[in-house]
Amino acid sequence: MNTQNIVERIREIINDETVEQLKEELASYHEADLADIFVELKPEERLICFKLLDVDKAADMMEFLSPQLQVELLGDIDEELASSILTKLPHDAAADVLGDMEEDESETYLDKLPQKFSDEVRELLTYNENTAGGIMNPVVLTVNSDMSVKDVLNHIRSRAEEDNMELYYVYVVDKQNHLLGVVSLRKLLTSPINQKVEDIMISDIVRLHVDDYSDFIIDEFMKYQYNALPVVDLYNRLKGMITWDDVHDLFEEETTEEIYQSSGISTEIVDEDEILSGNILNAITARTPWLFITLLGEFIAVHVAHHFDHTFSMLPIVATFMPLLAGLGGNIGTQSITLMVRGLSTGQVTMSSAFHHIFREFFVGLAIGVLFGGLVMLATWGWQHNIGLGLVVGTAMAVNMTMATIIGSFTPFALKVLKVDPAVASGPVIATTIDVVGLAVYFSLVTFYLVHVL
Amino acid sequence: MNTQNIVERIREIINDETVEQLKEELASYHEADLADIFVELKPEERLICFKLLDVDKAADMMEFLSPQLQVELLGDIDEELASSILTKLPHDAAADVLGDMEEDESETYLDKLPQKFSDEVRELLTYNENTAGGIMNPVVLTVNSDMSVKDVLNHIRSRAEEDNMELYYVYVVDKQNHLLGVVSLRKLLTSPINQKVEDIMISDIVRLHVDDYSDFIIDEFMKYQYNALPVVDLYNRLKGMITWDDVHDLFEEETTEEIYQSSGISTEIVDEDEILSGNILNAITARTPWLFITLLGEFIAVHVAHHFDHTFSMLPIVATFMPLLAGLGGNIGTQSITLMVRGLSTGQVTMSSAFHHIFREFFVGLAIGVLFGGLVMLATWGWQHNIGLGLVVGTAMAVNMTMATIIGSFTPFALKVLKVDPAVASGPVIATTIDVVGLAVYFSLVTFYLVHVL
C-alpha cells in the first residue's frame, strides 16, 4: 500500500466528489491503514474524514494513532460523538487518551461516559502509566473453579459479545476474585464438556503485579512468549490482563530508548517522545548532559595536546594527523561498545563470558589496527616521503585501534558490576577516554621518535 | 529468578545428591527458565541434566535455546531420543534445528522421523530461512466454508490434541486448499451453533506470501497487530501460518541489525549472529568497510589541516583545539542522525515532515552551540589569557555544532530520496563529513583572526 497515493486520491475526492463517495472510500480501508492515512492528511482534511467514519471504525482506528492525534481528533468533534467513540475503546486505550488530556477536559468526558466504564477507567488512571496497572485492560473473562467446561462455554457465549473484551485465556478465580489458575481457549475446546474447570486449569502460572514496571513486563513477555499475562494486586486479586500488543508498543519504546542512549541522548530526565517533537527545551535538556561530559573530557585531550606545543612548532605535520587517529579510534571503539551493550541487553553476552568477549575484541582490534596502521604508514610515507613519520603514525593507529576495542568492550562490563546501566553511560564517556588515551599514545611515540631517531 | 543461584544449587545436587532429586528439581522449572539455566551450565552438566528431562519438557525447552545449543544437545544424546524430541517440536522449530546441522547429520534424523512429519519439514527446508516459507508453521487447522459452527468445534476437538498445532484462528479453505477466509476462536464461541462458517468468516484478510521477506513480515505484524497471519503460495493456496512469537524473534534480530548499523557494523555481507560469536574473520569483515570509508574521509581532514601547517608553527595552541571541536561536532551530529534514522524507522518522522525536523535540529544545534561556544570561549580566555583565541574557538564551536545538526538531520532524508538505506550509510559518512567541514570552518576563522586581527 502506498499511503502517499491514497492520500492524493482522498484529497481529490474531498475536492471533486460527493460525501457519499468519500465515506465509501474511507470505509474500504483497514483501520491500521486508515491511521497511516490520517497521519499524512492536513488537520482540516482529517476532521472531514473522521466525521464520516462510523463509530466502530473510528474507535478501531484510534488505537493505531499517536496519543496527540487521538486527543486532537476527539477535541475537534462534538462531545456526544467523542464519548460514544471512547466507550467503544478497550478500557486501557480509553485511559491512555484521557490520561493525555488536560484534567478538566478528561473530566468532562468521564462524566459523560457510562458509570461502570468511567469508574473502571478512573481506577486505571490512578496507576503510574509505566506500570502493569497503567497498562492493563481491567476487563477479563473470569470463571469459578467448580464450573464445568460446558458452563464456561455458555458463559463465554453470553459475555464475549462485549466490545472491549479481549479473549485469549479464561482466568479462574474464587469468590473474592483471587487468581487460582488459567485455562486456554484451546484447552476448553478440546476437553470433555462435563469436566470441571479445576481439573483442566493450570494453577502454576506466571502473573504480573500492578506495580511491575514496563521493562520487567517486557522481559516476562519476551522470555515466556505468552499472548497475555494476568495482573494481580498485593493480595493476588485479579485486576486485569496485559496482552502482547500492549507489550509490542512498550518494546518499540524501549528499543528507541536503547538507541537514543547509545548516542548520548538521555531518556532519564526527559520522556522519550518529548525529544523528537514537543517542547524544544526538553529536546535540548535531553541532549546536553552527555555533550557536557564530552566537553570536559575533550578539555583533558586539549591539555594533553598542549604539552606538545613545541612539537607542533617544530614538526607541524604531527598535528594534522590528530583527527585521523581520534576518528578511527573512536569509530572502532564505538563498534565494540555497541556489540557489548546490545549483547548484554539480548542475553547473547553474559557476565560470565566477559573475558571471552574482551579477548575477542582485542584480537579484532589488533587485526584491523595492524591492517589500517600498515595502510596509513604507506600513505604517509608516500605523501610526506618520510618513513619515520609513517612508522610513527602507523604504529599509533594500530595501538589506538587495539586499545579502543579493549576499552570499548571492557567498560560496559565494569559499569554493570558498578550497577550503572551500560547503555546509558558507555557511549560518550568511552569515546572521550579513547580520544585522550589515543592522543597520549600518539604523542609519546612522536616524542620517542624525535628524541631517539631524529 | 536469579539464574546464577539456581545454577549453583543444581551443581550441588549433581555432586552430592541422587539422580531422583536432580530430576525433581529440573522438573520444577518453567521451560523458559530451564533454557536460561542450561545456557549457564557447563557442557557436561548440561548433558547430565538434559537426559533427565522428560521428552515433552525437553522439546518445550528446545524452543527457547539458541540454534547452536540445540544442535549441540541433540548431537550428544542417542539418536532415538533425539528423534523423539524432534517429533515433539512444531514443524518450523524442527526445521530450524535441522537446517543448522550439517546436511548428512540432518538427513540421519530426517530418515528416523515419521514419514509425514519429515516430508513436511523437508518442504520447509526448501524455503529461504528469511522468508515467510522458511519461518511459517505448516500445520494449520483448516475447515470448509459449508461446515457449521458445530462441525468446526467437533473438528477442533478431534484435531487440536496434536502436539505441534498452534490454535489462534481457524482458516477456511476450498477443496483445493485455496484460502477463503478466517474465523477467530472467539467468533466461533459466540456464534449460533448451526450457523455456516461462510456466514461468520472474514474474507477480506491480510495474508503473507511464502516469498515475503522477514522485514516485510515484521512490518505487517507490527502494523496490524494480529496474533497470526496465514501464508499462501502464488495461487493463494494455504501453506502455513506465522504467529507473533515467530515475529518476536525476527523483531529482536532486526533491532540488533539497526543498532549495529548505527555504529557502522555492516550486516549486509555478514550474518548478524556471526559478528558477536562464530568465525572471527567474519567479525573483522563486518567491521572493516565503514572504518575504511572513515579512513578515506579522515585523510581529507588531514589534507585540510595540512594547509595550515604554517599556522601550527606560528601558533601551536591552534592545533590543540582540534580534538575538542571534532569530538563535540561529531557527538551532536550523531544525535541528530540517530533521531532521524530511528524516527524514519518507527514512522514518527516522515518525508513530508523533513523540513520541520531539519529546522528543529538546526535550532537545537544553534542553542546548544551558542551555550557550549560561550563556555569554551570563557575557558580558553581564562586559560590562555587571550580573548581573541577564545572568540575564535568559541565561534568555531558554535558554528560546528549548528552545522553538525543540519548535516546530521539532512543526510538521512537525502539518502532516502536516493533509495539508500539511511540506517546503513548515515553514521560513519556523516561523522567524517562533520570532521572535514568543522576543521575547514575552524581554520578559516583562525586565518581571518591571524590576518585581520593580529
pTM: 0.78
Copy the grid coordinates of residue A440: 597520549
Res. A196 pLDDT band, cuts 50 70 90:
very high
Nearest chain B CA: its distance from A107 CA (Å): 29
In the chain, the amino acid numbered B446 is V
Nearest CA in chain A to B358: A276
Assigned architecture for domain A3-126: Alpha Horseshoe (1.25)
Nearest CA in chain B to A31: B224
pLDDT value, residue B160: 60
Lowest mean pLDDT among A24-33, B153-162, B332-341: B153-162
Q: Are B373 and B397 in contact (CB under 8 A)?
A: yes
Mean pLDDT of A14-37: 87
Contact B435 A360 (CB under 8 A): no
User: Does position A8 have pLDDT exceeding 60, yes or no?
Assistant: yes
Nearest CA in chain B to A315: B313
Mean pLDDT of A144-169: 79
Quickly tell me which residue has 491503514 as its cell: A33
Contact B350 A40 (CB under 8 A): yes
Residue B430: partners with Cβ closer than 8 Å, 6 or more residues away? B333, B334, B337, B407, B408, B411
Of A64, A189, A324, Cβ closest to residue B299: A324
Of A189, A327, A342, Cβ closest to residue B157: A189
Q: Is B298 on the interface with A (CB under 8 A)?
A: yes
Do strands A169-173 and A142-144 pair parallel, antiparallel, or not at all (unpaired)? parallel
Nearest CA in chain A to B225: A245
Res. B408 pLDDT band, cuts 50 70 90:
very high
User: Does position A423 have pLDDT exceeding 80, yes or no?
Assistant: no
Pairwise CA distance, residues B132 & A403, whole Å:
43
User: Does position A380 have pLDDT exceeding 70, yes or no?
Assistant: yes
User: Does position A404 have pLDDT exceeding 60, yes or no?
Assistant: yes
Mean pLDDT of A180-188: 88
Contact A338 B260 (CB under 8 A): yes
pLDDT value, residue A92: 84
Domains B3-126 and B273-453 share a fold: no
User: Does position B95 have pLDDT exceeding 90, yes or no?
Assistant: no
pLDDT value, residue A357: 93
Strand partners, A251: none
Determine whether A429 is exposed, middle or buried from the number of CB atoms within 10 Å of its CB (0-12, 13-18, 19+). Answer: buried
pLDDT value, residue A165: 62
Nearest chain A CA: its distance from B33 CA (Å): 8
User: Does position A360 have pLDDT exceeding 90, yes or no?
Assistant: yes
Residue A107: partners with Cβ closer than 8 Å, 6 or more residues away? none
pLDDT value, residue A242: 92
Share of chain A above pLDDT 70, in %: 97
Pairwise CA distance, residues A103 & B183, whole Å:
41
Interface confidence (ipTM) of the complex: 0.78
Of A277, A283, A323, Cβ closest to residue B298: A323
pLDDT value, residue A162: 64
User: Does position A454 have pLDDT exceeding 70, yes or no?
Assistant: no
**What does the CA dihedral B153, B159, B163, B169 come to, rounded to 10 degrees?**
-40
Nearest chain B CA: its distance from A223 CA (Å): 6
Contact B312 A310 (CB under 8 A): no
pLDDT value, residue A391: 93
- Using an 8 Å CB-CB cutoff, list chain B residues near A432: 327
Mean pLDDT of A309-322: 84
Res. B207 pLDDT band, cuts 50 70 90:
very high
User: Does position A247 have pLDDT exceeding 60, yes or no?
Assistant: yes
pLDDT value, residue B317: 86
In the CATH scheme, what is the homologous superfamily, with its name and number, of domain A142-243? CBS-domain (3.10.580.10)
Mean pLDDT of A416-443: 81
pLDDT value, residue B398: 96
Of B156, B227, B295, Cβ closest to residue A227: B227
Q: CA torsion sign, B78 to B82 to B83 to B84? A: positive
Share of chain B above pLDDT 90, in %: 23
pLDDT tens for each residue of A205-231: 889 999 999 889 988 888 888 888 999
The secondary structure of residue B352, as a DSSP letter, is: G
Copy the grid coordinates of residue B352: 513530508
Q: CA torsion sign, A38 to A42 to A47 to A52? A: negative
Q: Is A222 on the interface with B (CB under 8 A)?
A: yes
Q: Are B260 and B282 in contact (CB under 8 A)?
A: no
User: Does position B163 have pLDDT exceeding 80, yes or no?
Assistant: no
Strand partners, B213: B131
Lowest mean pLDDT among A362-366, B122-126, B369-373: B122-126
- Using an 8 Å CB-CB cutoff, list chain B residues near A273: 348
**Vertex A235 angle, CA A230 and A241, to 5°:** 15
Pairwise CA distance, residues A179 & A174, whole Å:
7
Pairwise CA distance, residues A394 & A374, whole Å:
6
Contact B186 A167 (CB under 8 A): yes
Q: Which of residues 165-194 of A touch B (CB under 8 A)?
A: 167, 185-186, 189-190
Average pLDDT, chain B: 86
Query: How many Cβ atoms sit within 10 Å of the Cβ of residue B285?
Result: 15
For an interface test with B, which of A291, A321, A346 has the most B Cβ atoms less than 10 Å from its Cβ? A291
Q: Is B282 on the interface with A (CB under 8 A)?
A: no
Mean pLDDT of A84-95: 86
Of A223, A255, A276, Cβ closest to residue B255: A255
Strand stretches in B304-437, DSSP E: none
Q: Are B270 and B285 in contact (CB under 8 A)?
A: yes
User: Does position A203 have pLDDT exceeding 80, yes or no?
Assistant: yes
- Using an 8 Å CB-CB cutoff, list chain A residues near B376: 295
- Using an 8 Å CB-CB cutoff, list chain A residues near B363: 280
Q: Is A244 on the interface with B (CB under 8 A)?
A: yes
pLDDT tens for each residue of B314-337: 888 888 898 889 889 988 998 999
Inter-chain CB pairs, A–B, below 8 Å = 288
Q: How far is C-alpha A218 from the geometric centre of its chain's CA atoms?
A: 10
Lowest mean pLDDT among A207-216, A337-346, A366-375: A337-346
Pairwise CA distance, residues A403 & A400, whole Å:
5
| Cα distances (Å, whole numbers) of residue A451 to A311, A319, A443, B273, B317 | 11, 18, 12, 48, 22
Share of chain B above pLDDT 70, in %: 97
pLDDT value, residue B234: 92
User: Does position A189 have pLDDT exceeding 90, yes or no?
Assistant: no
Q: What is the 3-state secondary structure (H, E, C) of chain A?
A: CCHHHHHHHHHHHHHHCCHHHHHHHHHCCCHHHHHHHHHHCCHHHHHHHHHHCCHHHHHHHHCCCCHHHHHHHHHHCCHHHHHHHHHHCCHHHHHHHHHCCCHHHHHHHHHHCCHHHHHHHHHHHCCCCCEHHHHCECCCCEEECCCEHHHHHHHHHHHCCCCCCCCCEEEEECCCCEEEEEEEHHHHHHCCCCCEHHHHCECCCCCEECCCEHHHHHHHHHHHCCCEEEEECCCCEEEEEEEHHHHHHHHHHHHHHHHHHHCCCCCCCCCCHHHHCCCHHHHHHHHHHHHHHHHHHHHHHHHHHHCCHHHHHHCCHHHHCHHHHHHHHHHHHHHHHHHHHHHHHHCCCCHHHHHHHHHHHHHHHHHHHHHHHHHHHHHHHHHHCCHHHHHHHHHHHHHHHHHHHHHHHHHHHHHHHCCCCHHHHHHHHHHHHHHHHHHHHHHHHHHHHHHHHC
- Using an 8 Å CB-CB cutoff, list chain A residues near B275: 339
pLDDT value, residue B396: 94
- Using an 8 Å CB-CB cutoff, list chain A residues near B222: 248, 252
Pairwise CA distance, residues B33 & B29, whole Å:
6
pLDDT value, residue B402: 96
Res. B171 pLDDT band, cuts 50 70 90:
very high
Res. A425 pLDDT band, cuts 50 70 90:
low
- Using an 8 Å CB-CB cutoff, list chain B residues near A260: 338-339, 342
Lowest mean pLDDT among A258-262, A292-296, B25-29, B290-294: A258-262
Pairwise CA distance, residues B330 & B407, whole Å:
11
Q: What is the DSSP string of B131-199?
A: BHHHH-B----EEETT-BHHHHHHHHHHHTTSTT---SEEEEE-TT-BEEEEEEHHHHHHS-TT-BHHH
User: Does position B7 have pLDDT exceeding 80, yes or no?
Assistant: yes
Mean pLDDT of B437-444: 89
pLDDT value, residue B379: 93
Query: How many Cβ atoms sit within 10 Å of the Cβ of residue A398?
Result: 22
Domain borders along chain A are 3-126, 142-243, 273-453
Residue A209: partners with Cβ closer than 8 Å, 6 or more residues away? A132, A231, A232, A233, A234
User: Does position B364 have pLDDT exceeding 80, yes or no?
Assistant: yes
Mean pLDDT of A251-257: 84
The CATH number, out of the four listed (1.20.1250.20, 1.10.357.20, 3.30.56.10, 3.90.400.10), of the domain defined by the range B273-453: 1.10.357.20
User: Does position A114 have pLDDT exceeding 90, yes or no?
Assistant: no
Average pLDDT, chain A: 86
Residue B201: partners with Cβ closer than 8 Å, 6 or more residues away? B145, B172, B180, B181, B182, B183
| Cα distances (Å, whole numbers) of residue A237 to A147, A206, B163 | 19, 14, 33
Q: What class, spelled out in words, does domain B142-246 have in CATH?
A: alpha beta
Q: Which of residues 23-62 of B touch A (CB under 8 A)?
A: 30, 32, 36, 39-40
For an interface test with B, which of A219, A225, A267 has the most B Cβ atoms less than 10 Å from its Cβ? A225
Q: How far is C-alpha A40 from the geometric centre of its chain's CA atoms?
A: 23
- Using an 8 Å CB-CB cutoff, list chain A residues near B160: 186, 189-190
